Structure 1
Amino acid sequence: MRAAGRRGYAAGQARRERILAIALQEFAENGYRGTSLARVAERAEISQAGLLHHFQSKERLLVAVLEYRDELDLRRYPFGSVRTGAEALRVLVDVVEYNSRVPGLVQLFTVMSGEAVTADHPGHEWARDRYRRLRDETAGAIARAVESGEFRADIDPEVHATRLIAVMDGLQTQWLLDPDRVDMAAVFRGHVEDLLTAFRP
């Protein structure tokens, strides 16, 4: 019974991940408003009722998709396993370079984050918790580099983590609006290299 239960759980998780991967593509290609639950269900080869069994509404599906995208980023860029502060900041450069190849996802994230500033939005908690996690992880990496002597002792990790994330998001918006004139990846790479130079003891 236990083995059967585990197999059933694994199958359910695999089905859920397949739905999320398909929904991620749909949201990236068509945006939130242009994506329909019926289309996601059709591509996932389940009924719309079956889709709603896993995700009670389109809003819940969107939040789950955004969380899934974050999980994919963590798999692709294991931030916690880096050894130095320089490596940690260059992981952020890698993330920005990857994002420059998936404009649909970046647009979805940018719109969702902007809408989520209102407390009653379905993505509000996701956006708040995501920024807290990003700040904490980035500040932690900077703090460890300060403690090891890699970075200057007078650096404030929290402040610089907040600034880095603000630069990332601001560049994303400018790039989405004017991609022919804003090279998001190159500008952010230069910003990080300037910081690493300034952070040296």
Structure 2
Amino acid sequence: MARTPTFTTAEGRATRDAILDAAIKAFATRGYRGASIDQIAAEVGVSRQGVLHHFPSKTKLLTAVLDRRDEQDIQHHEQMQEAEGITLTNAVRATQDYRAERRGLAQLYTILSAESVDPGHPAHEYFVDRYRRIREMFTEFIGGAQAEGRVTKDLAPETLAVALIALLDGLQLQDQIEHEAFDAEQVLSDLLDFFVRDE
């Protein structure tokens, strides 16, 4: 009796990874609702059933795409937390550099986060949780910078964290819309120099 291929085979893993790559591209360009399993299958060169073998539904595929992004993000955040002498400025710059290096994933994030304002969107809870985690991380960094006298105490660290996330998301969006219009990295650097006292 022929054995059914599993995810543990090298070929199965390669196909699964190719499907995820194609899904990232499809969701980043057409959004979750605009992308289809058939388009993703055609991009990879497998049948619709081939995609559904690895991911039983479009929602499961979206979840796997977001999980992949999370794995990379967790590694990035762990590296930042383990780095000696990490400061608010370093953390923000590292986050911006990380996003710039992953433009496809950044575009995916922008499209899906906009779609997920609808509570019925399959990624809605994912983005609620994601923003909560990012707010907590930046609140901690900002609170530390305030305690050291490098950031104003006129506003609560939670308020500044929300504003900082809005700044990063806004720069990312503008950079995606008109990449050559301005240097997002320089704008961020100038703003950090303006708001954060010498570290």
**TM-score, normalized by the shorter chain, greater than 0.5:** yes
**Counterparts of 1:192 and 1:169, CA distance in 2:** 15
**Counterparts of 2:91 and 2:143, CA distance in 1:** 16
Q: Which residue of 1 aligns with 2:80?
A: 79
Q: Deviations over 1:94-145 (max 9, x none)?
A: 3323433544433322121111111111111011111001001111222234
**Counterparts of 2:18 and 2:75, CA distance in 1:** 16
**Counterparts of 1:129 and 1:44, CA distance in 2:** 31
**Counterparts of 2:85 and 2:74, CA distance in 1:** 17
> How do 1:155-174 and structure 2 match up within 5 A?
156-174=156-174
Q: Does 1:106 align with 2:106?
A: yes
CA RMSD of aligned residues (A): 3.3
What TM-score comes out, normalization by structure 2 length? 0.73
Q: Deviations over 1:141-160 (max 9, x none)?
A: 2223445x364583622111
SS in 1 for 2:166: helix
Is contact 2:80-2:86 (8 Å) kept?
no
What TM-score comes out, normalization by structure 1 length? 0.72
Q: Identity over aligned residues, as a percent?
A: 32
**Counterparts of 2:170 and 2:106, CA distance in 1:** 12
> How do 1:38-187 and structure 2 match up within 5 A?
38-41=38-41, 47-77=47-77, 78-84=79-85, 86=87, 88-147=88-147, 149=148, 151=150, 154=153, 156-187=156-187
Alignment coverage as a number of residue pairs: 189
SS in 1 for 2:160: helix
Q: Which residue of 2 aligns with 1:31?
A: 30
Is contact 2:151-2:196 (8 Å) kept?
no
Deviation of 1:18 after TM superposition, in Å, equals 5.6
Is contact 1:84-1:145 (8 Å) kept?
no
**Counterparts of 1:152 and 1:173, CA distance in 2:** 26
Give the letter for the 1:117 counterpart. Answer: V
**Counterparts of 2:39 and 2:125, CA distance in 1:** 27
Is contact 1:142-1:157 (8 Å) kept?
yes
Q: Which segment drifts farther, 76-85 or 134-143?
A: 76-85
